[in-house]
Amino acid sequence: MTLSTSNNTVAITPFAICDGDVEQNGITAIDLNNEISPTLLSNFTPGLVVNYYPTEGDARLQVNQIASPYINLTAFQEIIFARITDGVSCFGIIPITININTFVPTNFENETLFFM
């Protein structure tokens, strides 16, 4: 029997997500399966599975898995943990930084309409 291990470190660029609701407060619903997973998994061999957890410890124990869509708990930036597995035996855990961007342009005020 041969055991192969890897200690390769993968640097994942923070993900930028737009605050998609009316209240631009840095809290929004994030579709992890469509907005994070495809980009994240593009760094690896096809066929891997990713699940998300609020802490690294939760990811190790596979408890408190985050459902998608996920509403971030910390405004504007949050770190969650991706557990990437090959199906059964091997896994890796990667911190994922999510930046929530708001859209509040300068000099953008409600306008008053006058009807004549």
5 pLDDT exceeds 60? no
Strands 15-18 and 91-101: parallel
- Read off the pTM: 0.80
DSSP per residue, 13-43 = PPEEEE--SSS-SS--EE-IIIIIHHHHHTT
Residue 1's pLDDT band (boundaries 50, 70, 90)?
very low
> Minimum mean pLDDT among 5-9, 42-46, 98-102: which range?
5-9
- Nearest 5°: the CA angle 6, 11, 16 is 145
Which residue matches tokens 């041969």? 2
What pLDDT score was predicted for residue 7?
60
The full length of the chain comes to 116
Contact 32, 43 (CB under 8 A): no
Q: Which pLDDT tens digit goes with each residue over 56-107?
A: 999 999 999 999 999 999 999 999 999 999 877 789 999 999 999 998 666 6
